[in-house]
Amino acid sequence: MNMFERRNTQQIMVGKVPVGGGAPITVQSMTTTKTADVEGTLQQIYALAAAGCDIVRCTCNDQDAAEGLAQIVPRSPIPIIADIHHQYKMALAAMEAGVHGLRLNPGNIRKPEHIKAVASEARDRNLAIRIGVNGGSLDPSLYEKYGGLTAAAMVESAMHEIAYFKEVDFNLIKISVKASNVPLMVEAYRMLAEATDIPLHLGVTEAGPPPAGLIKATAGISTLLLEGIGDTIRYSLTADPVEEARAGRQLLEALGLRERKNVDLIACPSCGRAEIDVIDVANRALAAFEHKKLPLQIAVMGCVVNGPGEAREADLGIAAGNKRGHLFVKGRNVAVVPEDEMVEALVEWAEFINEHGTDAAIARADTKLAEREAARDRSHLMDEKGEDANHAAEKIVEIRKAVGN
């Protein structure tokens, strides 16, 4: 159960995908191909959709790109947003190409008549626009007014753009106020959430390459999501955009904001009791499940001493002991397999559970035998490595002497 209440917002449609108004939070990304390269762009879009992307943005920076969009849009499995900078006519061309939405940057399309021309056309086509305020391209007058880049400056930029849209009775809007500085980004979105009920698109712009970029983006996006702020998200990574989509999807699943599509693999950090290379087994398990689309929680534990108990709520898990792998379902030992077959056994049992359920998996097992074997390996490991590796009893005596008790 989520411990936070989502902010109430208006709802808009991006193609057939709802954004805001209580709809599931969506994952977005952007293609890195030249939009004029129709086949290459479509290949990337299909890869993004497979990784969990709900909406994709493509640049529309010239006529060739606009003509490419005309061929891409009808073949795309997910809605297409045209990214527009400087040239408002490219927004008009993108709409002619049939895109499902636009992203406009108020920092570089500044003539009111151009903004209102685009908004009027979008209104007539019932097509959504994202006002994409970016800390790196703020109107110079706002830099001067606020003495630099501030949250208030970014919010004022967004609200100023909204005013132009309202003049032509256009309200199919979502907004982003992205910055590469996480605290600034969080402050700007909080201010914006207080100022309007328009849906918000979250992101830390120019987050950089993983792993640092993943950390920065997660820090900003998850902070706001946990406050109930945000209707759609993008990880802006210096990486394959498929990594952006995958990260966004995994974050929403981890926060309980989207249903799980694939395996949630948990693993112990390892310790002196570990009987296997936990990192290696966990990575091999991740690779084995990557394209399986099994919405299960699976645990890889290094030993049988605490493994099944610590991963009791997992649908399926495996713990190493005495050169064997002990499989458990919902904390119940169900089978023993050779160490070199641990990952294969996980896959086989996971597929069975996905089709038949955990109760059926437990029912098919000789649980008494499996539990007896686990107890034997647990005892062996305790004898070999010690239940009290830190010699706590002796240390307690010394501690009491030190404090005078």
The tens-digit pLDDT sequence of the chain (405 residues) is: 455 789 999 999 999 999 999 999 999 999 999 999 999 999 999 999 999 999 999 999 999 999 999 999 999 999 999 999 989 999 999 999 999 999 999 888 889 999 999 999 999 999 999 999 988 888 889 999 999 999 999 999 999 999 999 999 999 999 999 999 999 999 999 999 999 999 999 999 999 999 999 999 999 999 999 999 999 999 999 999 999 999 999 999 999 999 988 899 988 887 766 667 888 888 999 999 988 889 999 999 887 666 667 677 889 998 877 678 888 899 888 888 888 899 999 999 999 999 999 999 999 888 787 677 667 666 665 665 555 545 566 777 777 778 875
- Measured CA to CA in angstroms, residue 69 lies from 73, 82, 97, 221, 242 at distances of 6, 8, 6, 30, 20
- Give me the pLDDT at residue 306, please: 63
208: alpha, beta or left? (left if phi > 0; alpha if psi -120 to 50): left
Domain boundaries, the chain: 11-254, 264-385
Question: Which residues make Cβ contacts (< 8 Å) with residue 294, sequence separation at least 6?
Answer: 262, 263, 350, 351, 354
11-254 with 264-385: one CATH topology? Answer: no
Show the beta-strand stretches assigned E in 291-352.
297-301, 316-321, 324-329, 332-338
- Give me the pLDDT at residue 256, please: 92
Specify whether domain 11-254 bears CATH 3.40.50.280.
no
- Give me the pLDDT at residue 180, please: 95
- Give me the pLDDT at residue 378, please: 64
Cα(86)–Cα(220) distance, rounded to whole angstroms?
Answer: 28
CATH of 264-385, picked from 3.30.413.10, 3.30.360.10, 3.60.10.10, 3.50.30.10, is 3.30.413.10
Side chain identity at 166, as an amino acid letter?
K
Burial of 323 (0-12, 13-18, 19+ CB in 10 A): exposed
- Give me the pLDDT at residue 27, please: 98
Cα(176)–Cα(307) distance, rounded to whole angstroms?
Answer: 43
- Give me the pLDDT at residue 94, please: 98
- Give me the pLDDT at residue 101, please: 98
CB 56 within 8 A of CB 31: yes
- Give me the pLDDT at residue 377, please: 64
